[in-house]
Structure 1
Amino acid sequence: MTAATEESKLKCAGFRCIHCGWRISRLFMQYSPGNIRLMKCDNCKAVADPYIECEFMIIFIDLILHKTKAFRHLLFNMLDLEKIDIKGIVLKAGLMYFILDACRLSLSISRNGAQDASRSSLVFTWTALKVLLDVLLGNFVFVSVLWTGIRVILKLNYYMPRYIEILLAVLVSSYFKMFLLVMMVWDFPPAAIFIVDIFVLSSNTVALRALTQLGTSTCIGLLSSAHIAKLLAFEWLLH
């Protein structure tokens, strides 16, 4: 497949069949209020998106279970990447992502030992500035590695909307980071931080696979490289 063909295919970000990823024009036909008929996919002949009739809690459970169908529904049919203000959502999701990363770094710093109480205000200010700088630089490394890998693998040019869509998929699939807020209140073993990191990596992999149709091993390798680069940046900056 040529680069031009691949880029033309990637620009088609409308409704998709959650089973095979085929583009469809509509998800359902509405005859009257409350009376709809779900459309079938022309490619696989299955109902394109049965999640339309499901409660959000069912969708959320399937997201936790890492089902590719649930991520396709979320990214293509629920968010509708062609029509939403994707930049605004990315900025809000990115802000939350930075806050949760700051929580992770704060937990790592707090486990390195207690600080001198007589210098608590100075230490707090310095720690806050250091965490902010570390989060910004660490995520800059993460995005740089991820976008470079995507550009090489998919042979994209500088089609920025596509990179933003991939970034959005990574951000919304990092919901396991919310457990870090709980860890700020209750004590957890240090290994719990890395367990959260593993779940975030696996969820990011499924979301990237649902969005790009890449193989599982390719997505794992790409995201593992980006996450490892970010963790190494964190460790280097912390020490």
Structure 2
Amino acid sequence: MPICTKCTTGAPYVYTTYESEHNLRLEECRNCKTNVDPFVEADHLTLFIDLILLKRGVSRHLLFNRGSEPRRLGGELKKPLKPVQVARERRLKRWWLLLKLGTGLILLDAYIRWCYLDPNPSSEPIIWTAPVVKRFLLILVGTATEVLAFHIGISFLTFIALKLLDGYRLWRYGNAELSDTRKEFTLSLVPLSLFYSSLTKYFLLFLLTIWPPAKSSPSDQQSTPTWPQIYFPDSAMIHQVFHTLDDRNLDKDWVVRNIMGGMSAGFGLRIVLDDLHPFFTTLVILLGWGIKATVSNAVSDKIGLATQTAWRAYSIP
């Protein structure tokens, strides 16, 4: 059953079609009196931009509502499928989408890590010799192993957390009444939500791979005054802030992968687990990081001695 992208109330249909598939009317939510899912009419570029901006509505649309059958009025009526058939078909489509999305993002992550671990001068073309291909495949296998460990660990911890929550409700209130999002929950939604939310991190990392931060030598920094030194010559606090944010002192790649990656992973899990308190969602993410860090330590031993530290630094999702 679809849900409202604003208040997560269940709805029988997202939209109604009339004589043709393009002649449609969005359904109204019975709770908040707004359109159940306005993202039905959005194009792929709009959905991608909203995903990068971490908007809850578009995540709920992609996770719970995409592929749901509309109400059909007028025109040639199709024989409706049984609810069991609809649920089975949606599960298969979700797993197939998860496989395609996961494969693409793992390849992108492996390429980004390969660029950091084996940097190539921008003026020189990449020559895919046998050692280079072997090195990339090694990084690809290590990246896939870490991602699988993280997603399997998060899914298992989520399953345990939800079972404990259901047991507490049954003990505390005498019943285990579920919310609409909880009724539609399946384990495939957990890795799918994490992949969707990680698009923000991968997008920024990909931009940093194409346009890396400019590195300046200490002599250039001493000879050329910065604009805080020009406009705020007597403010030591402003100088200290901009000194900390300087490219030579702040690793923007590490910040995007760790800080932005952690925030986006927690955001994605909160979309699926509305019933859980944010503390438990954060705890699940932290425990998942612990599992991935353990696997990362084992993987880094196979990558090479020269890059073990760098591999561990960029292993957090």
Whether the TM-score (by the shorter chain) exceeds 0.5 is: yes
Superposed, 1:127-166 pairs within 5 Å as 127-155=135-163, 162-166=186-190
CA distance in 2, matches of 1:42, 1:32: 25
Alignment pair present for 1:95 and 2:103: yes
1:222 and 1:95 map into 2 onto residues whose CA distance is 24
2:209 aligned with 1:222, yes or no? no
Aligned match of 1:8? none
Residues 18 and 70 in structure 1, CA contact (< 8 A), matched pair in contact too: yes
Match of 2:14 among 20, 27, 33: 27
Deviation at 1:95, TM superposition (A): 0.9
Q: Describe how 1:64-213 pairs up with structure 2 within 5 A.
A: 64-80=52-68, 82=87, 83-84=89-90, 85-110=93-118, 123-124=131-132, 127-155=135-163, 162-176=186-200, 177-188=202-213, 190-213=251-274
Instruction: Note the alpha carbon deviations across 1:194-226, whole angstroms, 9 max, x for none.
Output: 314433333332332222313434333322432
Secondary structure, in 3 states, of the residue corresponding to 1:163?
A: coil
C-alpha change, 1:179 and 1:231, in structure 2 (3 Å) is farther
| Greater mean alpha carbon deviation, residues 66-75 or residues 176-185 | 176-185
Q: Which of these residues, 39, 44, 48, is aligned with residue 32 of structure 2?
A: 44
The 1:55/1:95 distance shift into structure 2, 3 A limit, reads closer
Distance change in 2, residues 1:136/1:66 (3 Å): closer
Matching residue of 1:10:
none
Work out the CA distance in 2 between the residues paired with 1:62 and 1:179.
Answer: 14
- Residues 108 and 26 of structure 1: CA distance in aligned 2, closer, same or farther (over 3 Å): same
How many equivalent residue pairs? 215
The CA RMSD over aligned residues, in Å, is: 3.2
Task: Report the CA distance shift for 1:208/1:79 in structure 2 as closer, same or farther (over 3 A).
Answer: farther
- Distance, in Å, in 1 between the alignment partners of 2:38 and 2:193 is 21
TM-score, with structure 2 as normaliser? 0.57
Give the structure with higher Rg (CA): 2
**Could you tell me how far 1:185 is from its partner in structure 2?**
3.8
> What is the DSSP-based 3-state SS (H/G/I as helix, E as strand, rest coil) of the residue aligned with 2:8?
coil
Show structure 1 runs of 4+ deviating over 6 A: none
